[in-house]
Amino acid sequence: MGHVGTGLTWATLTEIHSRLARIKTENSPFLTAPPAPGIATWVRPELSAEVKFAEITREGYLRAPVFLRLREDKLTR
């Protein structure tokens, strides 16, 4: 739904990178892969993030998304 570019500290980026590396997979978890700039690295959908944003655009993207935190209390599908 968009790219979060703010709200991340170096410590948070390091933690998320480490966790994503452990759930990396060769296969897309989507039936139809969404458009991605460049080469995508796929991960199993096991993490949930809380992101605040201004609105959802007509194209379905988040406007002004800001990372808040990983949600350990939410189950992924």
pLDDT of residue 77: 60
pLDDT of residue 48: 92
Task: Give the global pTM.
Answer: 0.78
**Largest Cα–Cα distance of the chain, in whole Å?**
35
> CA 54 → CA 23, 27, 74, distances in Å?
30, 32, 22
Residue 21 has which token pair?
């590396």
For the domain spanning 1-28+44-77, the CATH number is 2.40.50.140
Q: Which residues of the chain have pLDDT under 50?
A: none
Give the integer Cα–Cα distance in Å for 47 and 29: 13
